[in-house]
Amino acid sequence: MSVAWLGATRPRSLAPVLARLSPPTENLSWYTRRFSGSQRRPLSSRPLLTLAIESSCDDTCVTLLEKDHGAGRGAARLLFDKKITSDNRQFRGVRPITAVASHTQHLAGMVREAMRALPDAGVMETRDEATSGDVVWVDGRPRRKPDFVTVTRGPGMMSNLSTGLNTAKGLAVAWGVPLLAVHHMQAHALTPRLVSALEAGKRKRAQKEGQTQIGEQDKPPSRDQTPEQVLTPAFPFLSLLVSGGHSLLVLSRSLTNHSILAEAQNIAIGDMLDKCARDIIPASELAASNGVMYAAHLERFAFPNGPSDYAYTPPPTRAEEIKIYDPGFGWKLTPPLSESVDMSFEFAGLNGQVIKVMLENPDMELAERRLIAQHTMRLAFEHLASRLLLALSKSGVAYEGKGKGEDSTLLRDVRTLVVAGGVASNRYLMHILRGILDVRGYSHIELVCPPLPLCTDNGAMIAWTGMEMYEAGWRSELDVLAIKKWPLDPNSEDGGILGVPGWKNVEETKS
């Protein structure tokens, strides 16, 4: 046997090398305990486990998620979930090179932290599990290796995405596990299903702890005690995906089929709100804000006392909805696309109006600034709602003209509207959507929004998307590249989520 020694002098003896490759002697008792028992547990009965990385913009996110087996079902649990956001305050917005530097600085250390949170391999029940390549040694302790690695492939900033993608590839190769390179906006749309699985996981653990307290550790739960683990919302459902880079109304038909009913013509709503906030909020308050999430600061500035300041009456008709706002201060705001029923969003016009008002009134009083902040958000959010109403009523001429009339039947069956993305964290948006749906005859539509930490970019939603794609049989090739612009809609020129190269389906290969 010949051995090539890379980057080191050939040792006189192989004993030191073999010692380093062997488990530490203090862990031999673990082997004795695990291998001497007669208990057996099938590999397929343990939860799926993934390590996920999100680096599409200025957030570096690493997550460990485990999920019970079962496509469309299953309880889930977060074992590790951490986010570090690059400091872009001096640039008054995300500076790509600063964000990349932050990813490079923090990602490796966060992965190491996550590895320390991997399940102790001592919980494995059989020798087969421990010797099947499922153990990774972390700080001298045997830990369970993830079943696959998940990462954001796009859309986003290319250098930022590539930092996370290359790290994920390295982990997948080192561990000998599959790679899932997933769509960022698909992850936002699926976040409520993650929440459903996490809640099922909490119920499952609470039930188990209750049994332990009464000394019934070995007694399986009865059928009627088993927590409900069917994922919700069920397909089809509507998704309003609103962030700094996207404004999309989506009909989510299935895991990989998300038809876009309306999208932004120019800038996204989050970008518009950020730009308006920089002009509306006094410079002293803006400088004291935490980070560059100016849209979130705009909400706090407009409503310092929270929802009690809303005083909102939803427009009962389209005519009321498109009225020009005139507060009597010498300036006006016109609702976006007020003379059109085109199925698209347009925020650049409103953005321009607000900036012009602020430039012409540099000494505007604080109360007037709050007023323009409130109504800038109101008009933007009512514009989102207007296209939702057009889709639900199937009256959008452009919508039918795009050849998507076949979606009308599915829309009649929709009972859930998912609101996701960074702007979904705005409570005023949710208040307006609920009010308009109710007053316009759609009170049966359930409004679902993830918890605030899951509205903004996060690793948990990426991990969850990897889980659902993995169970559907999808895997990513190791030569996949980051994608700056990745259409979500399967009817797009690029074919949507599955239209890009690099996917393979192991279930189809088996058949």
Q: What angle do CA 32, 205, 133 make, to 5 degrees?
A: 35
Q: Report pLDDT for 41.
A: 44
Q: Report pLDDT for 34.
A: 41
- Show the tokens assigned to 62: 């690493």
Name the residue ranges covered by the structural domains of the chain: 45-216+225-231+457-510, 244-455
pLDDT at residue 357 greater than cutoff 90: yes
Q: Report pLDDT for 22.
A: 45
E-strand ranges in 26-88 read: 48-54, 59-67, 76-85
**Same fold across 45-216+225-231+457-510 and 244-455:** yes
The model's pLDDT over 169-193, given as tens digits with 9 standing for 90+, comes to 999 999 999 999 999 999 999 999 9
Q: Can you give the pTM of this predicted structure?
A: 0.79
Query: Which residues are CB-neighbours of 276 under 8 A, at least 6 positions away?
Result: 298, 351, 354, 355, 373, 376
Q: Say which CATH class 244-455 falls into.
A: alpha beta
The model's pLDDT over 399-429, given as tens digits with 9 standing for 90+, comes to 443 445 566 678 888 899 999 888 998 999 9
Neighbour tally for 136: CB within 10 Å: 16
Q: Across-strand partners of 503?
A: 476
CA distance 115 to 62: 10
Neighbour tally for 52: CB within 10 Å: 33
> Taking the domain 45-216+225-231+457-510, which CATH number applies?
3.30.420.40
Note the residue count of the chain: 511
Q: How far is CA 426 from CA 72, 89, 259, 307, 422, in A?
A: 29, 21, 25, 11, 8
pLDDT band at 112 (very low <50, low <70, confident <90, very high): very high
CA distance 381 to 434: 11
pLDDT band at 98 (very low <50, low <70, confident <90, very high): confident
Place of tokens 């001096």: 90
Q: Which of 56-60, 89-93, 219-223, 436-440 has maximum average pLDDT? A: 436-440
The model's pLDDT over 226-252, given as tens digits with 9 standing for 90+, comes to 444 688 999 999 999 998 888 999 999
When comparing pLDDT for 349 and 340, which is higher?
349
Q: Report pLDDT for 217.
A: 44
Q: Report pLDDT for 94.
A: 67
When comparing pLDDT for 121 and 23, which is higher?
121
DSSP line for 181-199: EEEHHHHHHHHHHHHHHHH
CA distance 303 to 374: 8
Query: Which residues are CB-neighbours of 436 under 8 A, at least 6 positions away?
Result: 314, 315, 382, 385, 389
Tell me the pLDDT of the chain averaged across its residues.
84
| Overall average pLDDT of the 187-209 stretch | 92
Percent of the chain with pLDDT over 70: 79
When comparing pLDDT for 4 and 230, which is higher?
230
CA distance 190 to 462: 9
Helix, strand, coil shares, percent, the chain, to 5: 45, 15, 40
pLDDT band at 208 (very low <50, low <70, confident <90, very high): confident
CA distance 511 to 509: 5
